[in-house]
C-alpha cells in the first residue's frame, strides 16, 4: 500500500470525530509488529521514530528507510513521523525521505525561546511540505527536563499556535512519559478547554500510563493523535524474558524476537480496537 502522510491520517480522523494512534519504533521488529497489528485491526497508524531511537542507532537514515519501505509494501495504511527532535541536525529535509511530519520539542525552554525556535523550524519544514508538531506545558517523564504536574494553559496554547504556525500541538494534561502501569488521570475538562481555543488538532504524549477508557473519551474531547511507546516495550521485553527463561541454551535471536514482534502486533491491534474502535 502507498505510504500515507500524517496530514491525511489526522485530517481523516478529525473528520470522523476520532483520532489516529502513533506507535514508537525502536527496532525493525517494532515496525513490523506495529504494521501487523494495524492490519489486523483494519486501522491506520503512524510509525514514529524518536530522536532517542536515532541516537541509539547512530543515524536516522537506516531506520527511517526501513520504516518507509515496510509501510510501502504492507497491507496496513501508515505514515512516518520523526518525534521529539531537539537536534537541528536531524532537520535536514533532504535526509527525511518518507517522513511526512516532525515533532520539534523546545518545551524545556522558556516560553519565548520555545516560540522563537518553533517558529523558525516550522517555517523551514513547511517549505518542505512537512507537518509540524510542537509541545507546550512540558510532559513529565523525559529525563528530568519536564516537570510532572505541569499543565498547558489554554490561552497560552492559543497564542503559541498563532505565533508559531504549528499544525499539531502536544499538551500537558496529566499524562507522563515512560509509565509502565495505566494509572494516570488525564484532565478531560482541560483538554476540552484547550481544544475550544486552539485551531489545530491536539496530541497526547505518555498515553501508555492512561487507561483506555480515558483515551477513548479524549478522542471525543479534542485529541486527534495519541502516542504509544512504553506499553510496546513492556510487551516486547516480557516476551523476550519469557522465551529466554524457558530455554537457557537458546542463542538464535529470531526465536525470541519473533515472539516479541508478535506481542507488539497483539498489543497494537487491541489498543486500536479499544481506543479508536
The pTM (predicted TM-score) of the whole model is: 0.92
CATH architecture of 6-275: Alpha-Beta Barrel (3.20)
DSSP string, the chain: -----HHHHHHHHHHTT--EEEEE-SSHHHHHHHHHHHHHHT--EEEEEEHHHHHHHT-SHHHHHHHHHHHHHSSS-EEEEEEEE--GGGG-GGG-TT--EEEE--TTS-HHHHHHHHHHHHHHHHTTT-EEEEEES--BTSTTSS-TT----HHHHHHHHHHH--SEEEE-SS-BTT-SSS-----HHHHHHHHHH-SS-EEE--GGGS-HHHHHHHHTTTEEEEEE-HHHHHHHHHHHHHHHHH-TT---HHHHHHHHHHHHHHHHHHHHHHHT-
Per-residue pLDDT tens, the chain, 277 aa: give them: 679 999 999 999 999 999 999 999 999 999 999 999 999 999 999 999 999 999 999 999 999 999 999 999 999 999 999 999 999 888 988 789 899 999 999 988 888 999 999 999 999 999 999 999 999 865 444 433 234 567 888 999 999 999 999 999 999 886 555 554 555 677 888 999 999 999 999 999 878 778 888 888 898 888 999 999 999 999 999 999 999 999 999 999 999 999 999 999 999 999 999 999 8
Domains of the chain, by residue range, sit at: 6-275
The answer to whether 83 is a known catalytic residue is yes
- Catalytic option among 83, 105, 167, 187: 83
Amino acid at each position: 500500500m502507498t505510504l500515507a502522510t500524517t496530514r491525511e491520517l489526522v485530517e481523516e480522523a478529525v473528520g470522523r470525530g476520532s483520532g489516529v494512534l502513533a506507535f514508537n519504533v525502536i527496532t525493525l521488529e517494532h515496525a513490523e509488529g506495529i504494521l501487523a497489528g494495524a492490519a489486523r485491526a483494519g486501522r491506520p497508524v503512524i510509525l514514529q521514530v524518536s530522536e532517542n531511537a536515532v541516537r541509539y542507532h547512530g543515524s536516522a537514515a537506516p531506520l527511517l528507510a526501513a520504516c518507509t519501505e515496510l509501510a510501502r509494501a504492507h497491507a496496513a495504511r501508515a505514515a512516518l513521523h520523526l518525534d521529539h527532535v531537539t537536534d537541528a541536525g536531524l532537520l535536514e529535509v533532504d535526509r527525511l525521505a518518507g517522513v511526512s511530519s516532525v515533532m520539534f520539542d523546545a518545551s524545556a525552554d522558556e516560553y519565548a525561546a520555545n516560540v522563537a525556535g518553533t517558529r523558525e523550524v516550522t517555517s523551514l519544514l513547511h517549505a518542505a511540505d512537512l507537518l509540524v508538531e510542537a509541545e507546550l506545558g512540558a510532559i513529565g517523564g523525559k529525563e528530568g527536563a519536564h516537570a510532572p504536574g505541569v499543565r498547558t494553559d489554554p490561552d497560552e496554547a492559543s497564542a503559541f499556535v498563532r505565533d508559531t504556525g504549528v499544525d499539531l500541538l502536544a499538551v500537558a494534561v496529566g499524562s507522563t512519559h515512560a509509565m509502565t502501569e495505566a494509572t494516570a488521570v488525564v484532565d478531560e475538562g482541560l483538554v476540552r478547554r484547550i481544544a475550544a481555543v486552539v485551531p489545530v488538532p491536539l496530541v497526547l504524549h505518555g498515553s501508555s500510563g492512561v487507561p483506555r477508557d480515558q483515551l477513548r473519551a479524549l478522542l471525543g474531547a479534542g485529541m486527534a493523535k495519541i502516542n504509544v511507546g512504553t506499553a510496546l516495550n513492556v510487551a516486547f521485553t516480557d516476551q523476550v524474558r519469557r522465551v529466554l527463561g524457558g530455554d537457557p541454551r537458546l542463542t538464535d535471536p529470531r526465536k525470541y524476537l519473533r515472539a516479541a514482534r508478535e506481542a507488539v502486533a497483539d498489543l497494537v491491534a487491541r489498543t486500536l480496537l479499544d481506543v479508536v474502535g
